[in-house]
Structure 1
Amino acid sequence: MLQLRLFLSSLLIVTAGFAAGGALAQPRIEWEIANRFRLFRDEAQFRRLAEIYAALPAADRRERPAFAFEEAMQRAAAARTLGPAFGDSVSVARWGWTSAVTRRTCFQNGNRGHWQCLLDTGDQFMEPRVADLLVRIVGLPPALAGKTCRWTAGELAVSAPCSAEARLPRRAFGEPFDIAVSAENAALAETKAVKLRHIAIAGFGDSFSSGEGNPDRPAELVDDGIDTYRNSSPLPDRPGFRNYPRRRGATDSSLGGAAAAIWLNAQCHRSLYSQHVRAALILALAHRDVAVTLTPYSCTGAEVSAGLLGYYAARDDVGDAVYDASPQLMRYWRDYCRSFAGYNRFDDGGSSFDWRRDLQRCNQPRAMKPDAVLLSIGGNDIGFSSVIAEEVVGRGRFGLRVGLLYKLWLSQIDTRTFAEARRAVDEVIPDRFRELSTAFEKHLDVPAAAIVQTAYPQITRGEDGPCGVSTTGMDVHRILSISKPSTGSEAAAFVPYLNRGIAAAIASLPEARRWRFVDAHVERFAGHALCSAGAPAETPDRAVSGAMAFPTWNFSQRRWEPFAPSAWRAYRPRQRWFVTPNDSFLTGHYMRVGRFEGSDTTDPLSPEQPLFAATLGGSFHPNASGHAAIADATIPVLREVLGLPQP
């Protein structure tokens, strides 16, 4: 009887164990597409990104996936733990994680597009057919830990250690198949009707979606650039003129081009930090059965007429081999048409181009069409950058030399008041959006409801109210400051006015041509304004990351204060979600030589170069954190458009 009771007790314990851990008692198959973000050619890099994303807390993956992911990637870069797929860990720690990725993508500068790229699977980027799968057994019986398993997927059979991940190569998109695994001639698990999904996303727009201000690899500044750009700007609150850091390799006759910032596309200042890249990347990381193809075309300075539908050079100082001033819709057809003849016109040659007449719809489109379109447009159409110039450029308080410099620099830009910009919102935006909707209807095989336009974020709404009179983040040059008490509050009121105008213009379109409009992120930028100082407590190099002051050379101590230029880390987390003029100089450091319209020939040491670096390198645009915050607002809407489950 005692033995019987012991046997029954043991049986109950075993039965209870199976009931409590039933999922472990029955092996099951877990699978995922190996490289789900096809813009990245290097699968090993994507696998490391996927590991970091999977390790995020569930709440972060649900509520702020792009933002949390960006912070985690920069922490890993700073800690030098990204691994061998990202190359030299010291360089990545300084420049940020995209510095190791940007030259290993499917954007090809040489052909000004994506169409020529081949992936490791043999797929052409613009012709997705197959993907490799990674499969593993969850709940593997311990007795099989050292055994070999046999995997089958349709006609394919692969053998691999049971405890290891196996690869099922070249599985077709959209065609259901079963996956089964066996060991010791006994079936272990099976998954029926597996189907791989492919999603294509196109991105159009302006600098707020190109990634302006956030080069994939920042410029390399050194600490020995003393006494450069002589007499460009007086020092704040002390006698003498500021000395500026310069790039590695710079001389009196050279800007140090080898140490310039590196972009996914240098002419458009298109970057992997952009909101469009981040939204699409998170979808690929979060949905294991989906491969995402992103074709981004946004370009800094673009308007509807000049940039999206018409020729626009953006930057004209790139080499002839990569120069491309063609409209974004033409670039789209260069990728999405089987024959790019007629779409490889990179310059208008001085002709009067009209998209209605001169841009024909492709009659041999590729099988792949966009499932969704991401869009950011309108700010340049109403001259928002001209409003910024009007508000932050000082007037009437400089000596003759600086006054002449101010006039020279101002000849490169226009200025516009808030009142003029509000009139432009009312008068320009409706017509431009009607024209764009007509062009999209003609050229894009995508429902208007699958086009997602993002609103412009708050720039000057700080934690305690609008940014006030200040040179905070702008002491790179004496010309730059918020000098009027009304600037911060007027800007905080203008952004909603612009967004309401855009929303109204979309709503006024015929119902079948109305886009979606995303503005959930706009007020989230409050407290992360241009004037918001500091960095989160856990940020590596917090003192530098959160610094608002520009490095100043201390002549008596022979050192830079408050930090040396080489110590700058562009992509550490910080409170501000915008690129200040100081940040622009230290990160993008956009300089140029040659003849400017309205000015004499400039040289590498011309005193206006610091102004170019401080303003034309992306100041007043979202930084990496800002782009991630916009992406987080876009992702739920994008999932709805694509029929993907919300987390």
Structure 2
Amino acid sequence: MKLELRMPFRPMLVALCLLPLFASPLRAQGIGIEWEIVNRFAPFQALSTTRDGGNVGDRGMAVGLFETYGMADGETVGEWHARFIADHGRMTSPYEAFLRAPLGELHWDPDKAEHRAELLKFVKEEDGDDTYIYARVWAVDEDGERLTTGQCDWNVTFAPWPCAEEVPIKMQLRGATLRVTRGATEAVDYLEPEHLVIVGIGDSYATGEGNPDVPARWKTSDTQSAADQGVKWFTRFWNYHTLPDRRWIDDRCHRSFFSHQSLTALKLASDDPHRFVTFLHYACTGAEIFDGMIAPQYQSWEEEERRYVPYAQVNAAVRELCTGPLRLRPNSAGFANREYHPVTQTELRNITNYYEFHRRPQAKTTLYRDTRLRPDDPFDRNVLRGVRGYYGNAYPWSGLMDCPLARLRVPDYLFLSAGGNDIGFADIVRYFLLPADGLSDLEATLAYPDVCPGVPYQNSDEYSSIRRHCLRSAGGIWPNASDLIQGRYVGGATPFVGGMDQRYTLFFNVLQRRLRVAPGQIVMTQYPDPLRTEAPTSDACDPLTEVERAAVFGAPADVVDALSPWEGVRTAIPSLIGRNWPLNLTQEEAQNVLGQFDDLRAVLAETATARGVDMVCDTRDAFVGYGWWQGEHLNFPNAVLKGAPEWWNARDWDPFPHIGPGQGRAIRTANDSVMVQPHHKTALTAPVHPNLTGHGLIADIVFDHLSASDGPPN
């Protein structure tokens, strides 16, 4: 689809001349001024249309993108989604054309792992003379109705202007004074935009994982040979069209426009004609609190020299929100990089063994987990020092950045999603999807997860392969998910390692200390539940009742089903050992998944609420009625030749269909994940993550929650 960006106004740009400010606006009888910002979303204005960085903030492109992607007044994200498809044929990211061609540069620089100066200008030079936005103004009568006759003299035009026509203006973000006269009447008004700076931090639920800005495009699969190849057809690159080097806004972190954090920011921008939103997105797939959010993140899917994200998310936000130089450690500290500081005792608040929080202990990362959140700690000396050579000795580092308070642009909102990776949610899902028995010890070691569910949620057969695997793990250094949630004893001088309540507490302390946000400015979403079949009766901030935990959907046990939505898992299993494994989620398994994860949600809600964090508990129930077993294209397309009734061609796959209540699922199944992002490194990073419908449901709840308040606390 070719997307045409058109100027809705006269092509001339009119610079808004500033007049002395008035204490209050003046309106003469019979005439007044109305106005609106026509590009209210800063990432659109920070795009450049040429590879050399020219034409940054082009009015036609910036206004056209917001005209195309902005949401209408009172419109839900689902309604916006449906309207976009009706107007354009399919849902697309506003950044797809940039990533496919590319047309120019996005607002994010993936090579430097930072937002571009064109976006940061709205933060670092918020009150600057050259920090402009685009708006339109028009004259109204004393009843607020548009004037339809006569000529108006504006202080921003070089000649009289028809009163019936809007005037396109380029105005300073800090605000400006406007004057209009018609005959003997005059009106003077001060136009003051509301500038919201929103920071997005978190894990794959916050990135938009499973919803790449450039999804896969498949070739036909309606042949017998495709059916004969089975799931392996979907692992062979020649069956889908070549993709560009980048498929997300940030390919490393799988950060997408379709994230609920991004959609909420866009919806807030669309809601008020006088509001301009600068959205800075730092969330990263796979991030844990101590592995990505406050310490550099390890990523197993990157090449060896790129295994660490350059900046912890909090540090990335501090360095970009700081309008001047960062605070430096004294020279006497004796360390190379003085921008990094140790965690303070105020942030720790008597939390001991906090370095044990860093990464879930598992075989692949045990050597990398000893962070003390300070420069030159064991993590830095043993691991990061060797990584820095790839980045020119600039990053990554252990420790926390700090900005002098007077120079920090405190965000108005900090959107947050955290905790799922800390307890190994992907491992828990893997535990229940794979067969519980019949595997040799070698197969179990290769296939089963490193972190098992807590004992109450494990397979009840104590002689099963998976139970034996978990018992072996428990005898070593690997905690189970319940240990990670509630804390565990490890022996020694400080024998207790705290659970998720301590992780969240320390994390909230760091956010308040480093970003200066009040607890009420931290807007934290509860993880939604894609398993239940019935609406809940309990308060959304409370744990589910036993009856609510039991109301889940489950597939038949021990059935090898070529039509299963989870067959995609088989693409990552060697066929010689996994050909006959049943891949499904039974009702009992679904109850155990739900029970384990609800334990985390209870700790999250309790800890956040106690600290005064703005906890949006209602997102817990956002997906009820949109279960993973619902909707079209559950099976792989070539399964039709084996009896499936639905579809033949992989090329018919629509990654972003509009789904109404009761019409389909709000999460990606394993099959969905393979279809939308086929690559051996990414094909199975998206199961059980929201699709666009799911992110829209979350965004609507968060928006309604914020709209019910009086705005961000000071």
Instruction: Give the TM-score of the pair, scaled to structure 1.
Output: 0.72
Name the counterpart of 2:113: 112
2:518 paired with 1:416: no
1:3-48 Cα offsets, whole Å, 9 max, x none, are xxxxxxxxxxxxxxxxxxxxxx966533112221102235546645
2:586 paired with 1:484: yes
Name the counterpart of 1:425: 485
Aligned equivalent of 1:626, options 694, 703, 707 = 694
Shift of 1:591: 1.8
Answer yes or no: is the 8 Å Cα contact 2:35–2:138 preserved in 1.
yes
1:425-444 Cα offsets, whole Å, 9 max, x none, are 22221110121122112201
Name the counterpart of 1:564: 649
Structure 2 residue matching 1:621: 3-state secondary structure: coil
1:104-161 Cα offsets, whole Å, 9 max, x none, are 5411213211142369xxx5564333323211345445444xxx543236xx867544
Structure 2 residue matching 1:271: 3-state secondary structure: coil
| Matches of 1:71 and 1:502, distance apart in 2 | 34
1:188-227 Cα offsets, whole Å, 9 max, x none, are x736333122111111111111111111110232226989
User: Aligned partner of 1:636: which letter?
Assistant: D
Correspondence list, 1:61-210, <5 A: 61=75, 65-78=76-89, 93=90, 98-100=95-97, 105-117=106-118, 123=121, 126-129=124-127, 130-137=132-139, 139-144=145-150, 149-152=152-155, 160-173=161-174, 175=175, 177-183=176-182, 185-187=183-185, 190=187, 192-210=189-207
| Matches of 1:571 and 1:46, distance apart in 2 | 24
2:233 paired with 1:244: yes
Structure 1 residue matching 2:409: 3-state secondary structure: coil
User: Aligned partner of 1:505: which letter?
Assistant: T
Pick closer, same or farther for the CA change 1:480–1:162 going to 2, 3 Å: farther
Name the counterpart of 2:214: 217
User: Aligned partner of 2:109: which letter?
Assistant: Q
Answer yes or no: is the 8 Å Cα contact 2:148–2:164 preserved in 1.
no
| Matches of 2:222 and 2:123, distance apart in 1 | 43
1:543-575 Cα offsets, whole Å, 9 max, x none, are xxx221111167799x99723112211001232
| Matches of 1:170 and 1:193, distance apart in 2 | 11
User: Aligned partner of 1:570: which letter?
Assistant: P
1:167-187 Cα offsets, whole Å, 9 max, x none, are 2213341x4x5433345x454
2:472 paired with 1:468: no
Correspondence list, 1:259-408, <5 A: 259=244, 262-314=247-299, 316-317=301-302, 324-337=309-322, 338-339=324-325, 353-357=371-375, 358-363=399-404, 366=407, 368-396=409-437, 408=446
User: Which moves more between the two structures, 517-526 or 336-345?
Assistant: 336-345
Answer yes or no: is the 8 Å Cα contact 1:110–1:321 preserved in 2.
no
User: Aligned partner of 1:431: which letter?
Assistant: Q
Structure 1 residue matching 2:592: 3-state secondary structure: helix
Correspondence list, 1:461-610, <5 A: 461-462=532-533, 465-469=551-555, 472-476=564-568, 477=570, 479=581, 481-509=583-611, 514-531=612-629, 533-534=630-631, 546-552=632-638, 562-574=647-659, 575-592=664-681
Structure 1 residue matching 2:421: 3-state secondary structure: coil
Answer yes or no: is the 8 Å Cα contact 1:179–1:192 preserved in 2.
yes
Answer yes or no: is the 8 Å Cα contact 2:122–2:278 preserved in 1.
no
Residues paired across the two proteins, number: 534
Name the counterpart of 1:543: none
| Matches of 1:101 and 1:47, distance apart in 2 | 16
Answer yes or no: is the 8 Å Cα contact 1:553–1:561 preserved in 2.
no
Answer yes or no: is the 8 Å Cα contact 1:247–1:260 preserved in 2.
no
Pick closer, same or farther for the CA change 1:160–1:570 going to 2, 3 Å: farther
Name the counterpart of 1:16: none
CA RMSD of aligned residues (A): 4.0
Pick closer, same or farther for the CA change 1:72–1:246 going to 2, 3 Å: farther
User: Aligned partner of 1:304: which letter?
Assistant: I
Structure 2 residues not aligned, in runs of 5+: 1-28, 48-58, 327-336, 342-364, 376-398, 459-479, 488-498, 536-550, 571-578
| Matches of 1:182 and 1:359, distance apart in 2 | 55
Structure 2 residue matching 1:169: 3-state secondary structure: strand
| Matches of 1:72 and 1:563, distance apart in 2 | 28
Answer yes or no: is the 8 Å Cα contact 2:374–2:400 preserved in 1.
yes
Shift of 1:294: 1.0
Pick closer, same or farther for the CA change 1:334–1:142 going to 2, 3 Å: closer
| Matches of 1:497 and 1:76, distance apart in 2 | 43
Name the counterpart of 2:530: 459
The sequence identity of aligned pairs, in percent, is: 23
User: Aligned partner of 1:451: which letter?
Assistant: I
Answer yes or no: is the 8 Å Cα contact 2:69–2:94 preserved in 1.
no
User: Aligned partner of 2:211: which letter?
Assistant: N
Structure 1 residue matching 2:622: 3-state secondary structure: helix
| Matches of 2:339 and 2:600, distance apart in 1 | 33
Name the counterpart of 1:603: none
Pick closer, same or farther for the CA change 1:215–1:248 going to 2, 3 Å: same
Shift of 1:359: 1.9
User: Aligned partner of 1:445: which letter?
Assistant: R
User: Aligned partner of 1:374: which letter?
Assistant: F
| Matches of 1:332 and 1:282, distance apart in 2 | 22
| Matches of 1:36 and 1:500, distance apart in 2 | 37
User: Aligned partner of 1:380: which letter?
Assistant: N
Name the counterpart of 2:519: 448
Structure 1 residues not aligned, in runs of 5+: 1-24, 79-92, 535-545, 593-611
Answer yes or no: is the 8 Å Cα contact 1:32–1:135 preserved in 2.
yes
